[in-house]
Structure 1
Amino acid sequence: MTRLERAYGLSFRGTVRLRTVVGVKTSGGAMMIKRYKGTGMRRRLGALGEALDRAVQAGAEVAPYLQTRDNGYFVEAEEGLWTLQPWLPGRHTAMTVKEERIAAAEALARLHAVPVGRGGRSALLQVPPLWEKYRYRLERAQEASLRATTLRDLWRPYAEQARQSLLLLRGVNQRALETDMRHGSLCHRDPAPHNLIWQGGRSALIDFDLAGLDVRAHDLYQLMNHALYLNGWQPGLFSEMIEAYDRVYPLCQDNRRVIDALMKYPALVVREWYDFGKANDRRAFWPRLQWAVTQEDRRERETKKGTSP
């Protein structure tokens, strides 16, 4: 800790160990310390620190990496890299509350609107395309279906629906990626409720470990799926979040095509089969799968009626 105190010019007055970070009281206020093992992250942390600084300066609600006294974004010590971030006041955003869901979508849009990924260091922010996550989950879910042969007839139509969605996505994702990379949009890539801090009227984003240059529609779709998982389907659940996002930074046509393709992906059903493959808990699996099937069927009916984008 002494090395970090010297590097940041702060005195530390007590720490609290949490799951992935250490909370610390400092002479500059409450902070979070995070360690990255190894030294391979040096250049990426530097590029990400610069990107988050530009986002903050443009008015996006994010927790940046504090700069050291020699203008670095991390400290190297004890065979690791250490970052220091402000502890943002507030609580986790409640995706069950409409006002907070809308604020979360707006926070993503404000981040995406800032062209932080331009210039010579933009290559350091490139990451594996997030759409591959859906393909990977489908493959693991397909493997898991072999363990419950009595339910395979229930699984097959959703598997085919997911495959058709991925075929559509393959055709439109690259164009959207090229558009967003030209703009320089930094995507969070894990906008879960625990990474969104509700500050009373606005939401702020924390934990940018997975962040990089990607298709911004994927960020928005992940956020919408968290709302779907926590609320169950209801008319307007997705459209209200898309409209909130568009008011801040409108989706381009290519991103809208990505959203359209992802809307056909039965994420909840795939998720339950994927989780079953990891845990193999048959007793918990069946009621969760029934719930997921109900939500996906309701979403499909509403989508076909045109009440959702």
Structure 2
Amino acid sequence: MIAKLEQGFGLRIHRRVKLRTVTGMQTSGGAMILKRYDGDGMRRRLEALSDALDRVLLAGVEVAPYLRTNQGVPYMADRGGLYTIQPWLQGRHLSLKSADERKAAARALAQLHAVPAGKGSKKAFYLRVPPLSEKYRHRLERAQVATFKDPDLRDMWRPFQEQARESVVQLQGMALERALDRDLRHGSLCHRDPAPHNFMWHGEGAALIDFDLAGYDVRAHDLYQLMNHSLYLNGWEPGLFSEMIEAYERVLPLDVDNRRVLQALMLYPSLVIREWYDFGKTGKRDSLRVRLAWAQIQEEKRRSQVCFL
């Protein structure tokens, strides 16, 4: 396997170490990440994503592109799997604890979105994603089912259930369609999983890694996910949302429809739904009441800020 990788990518592999989901390698080209994807259906997606990341990199945005083999493809096929190699970016993962880190993450998203990575690409079709409203409707339904496992807490759930339904209805409106159409025409590649472990912090800024879920989506969704992770990790504090929006807009302003999509998403009580969703999978009641109480407080504070977005 090592010999095939070396021959295919034109590298010498000196050392390797198995990590949780990838393999780290020291090579003649520096530190690299080796990743396996199962299924032949990933070929088109990896080719489209590789082309998009190449455009992002050429525009001056710091990302880790897929190395190409001697045949010019971003993967090596072997034993039913596809293997990709990417440079290992220096730095540490973000914690999102400080305002500097949160603003750097927002700028990194805006820099990614500003590049017309999919404009005119014949492969962009393979990076299209399902409607945003379907994702949040599905999570709402899963949380709703979980509430039947604990009737004593169902009264706490009902107001957030209505709030989530309102958000989903708004996400099905014309604002989302217009925002998505505009972002698709521009070719904005969205990361779609801007969690702290998918950013590398190097003291001056943040770089995005792990584009496995990336696609052409409405860009307000990326910003919302970053804001949501920050709320979950830190709890609400004054300026938590506005600082990230302002940092994003210094690079790439939000149009009216993207702002409306962001407002609809901010109505969605993700933290409460997350606790019910996780409870539905694990069935652990021990900490549910405490975690729900905390999540409810954060969501009430989040909702009070929607009008200021």
**Structure 2 length-normalised TM:** 0.96
How far is the alpha carbon of 1:302 from its aligned partner?
Answer: 4.2
- Which residue identity lines up with residue 64 of structure 2 in the other structure? A
1:181–1:213: 8 Å Cα contact kept in structure 2? Answer: yes
* Correspondence 1:117-266 to 2 at 5 A: 117-119=118-120, 120-171=122-173, 172-266=175-269
What is the rounded CA distance, in whole Å, between the counterparts of 1:169 and 1:295 in structure 2?
22
Displacement of 1:103: 0.4
- Deviation, 1:125, is 1.4
Contact 1:188 1:208 in 2 (8 A): yes
RMSD over aligned Cα atoms:
1.1
CA contact (8 A) 1:100 1:201 kept: no
Counterpart secondary structure, 1:212: coil
Q: What's 2:78 paired with? A: 77
* Structure 2 unaligned residues grouped into runs of 5+: none
Q: The residue matched to 1:72 in structure 2 has which SS?
A: coil
Question: Using the alignment, how far apart are the partners of 2:27 and 2:221 within structure 1?
Answer: 36
**Contact 2:106/2:226 (CA < 8 Å) preserved in 1?**
yes
1:37-89 deviation per Cα after TM superposition (whole angstroms, max 9, x unaligned): 12111111111101000000101121110122232211111221110000000
Q: Give secondary structure in 1 for the equivalent of 2:84.
A: strand
Q: Is residue 111 of structure 2 the alignment partner of residue 107 of structure 1?
A: no
Moved over 3 A (4+): none
Mapped to 1, the partners of 2:304 and 2:117 lie a distance apart of 39
Contact 1:90 1:198 in 2 (8 A): yes
Q: Aligned partners of 1:300, 1:72: CA distance in 2, in Å?
A: 47
What is the rounded CA distance, in whole Å, between the counterparts of 2:270 and 2:44 in structure 1? 34
Q: 1:294 aligns with which of 289, 294, 297?
A: 297
Paired residue type of 2:106? A
When structure 1 is superposed on structure 2, of 131-140 and 245-254 the one drifting more is 131-140
Q: Does 1:53 align with 2:54?
A: yes
Q: Which amino acid aligns with 1:20?
A: T
Q: After superposition, what is the alpha-carbon deviation per residue over 1:111-157, rounded to whole angstroms, capped at 9, x for unaligned?
A: 01100112211112112234422111110111011111111111100
Cα displacement string for residues 173-194 of structure 1 (whole angstroms, at most 9, x for unaligned residues): 2221111100001011111001
CA drift of 1:36 comes to 0.7
Q: Is the 8 A contact 2:35 2:84 kept in 1?
A: yes
Percent identity (aligned)? 61
1:26 pairs with 2:55: no
Gaps of 5+ in 1: none
Work out whether 1:282 is the aligned partner of 2:285. Answer: yes
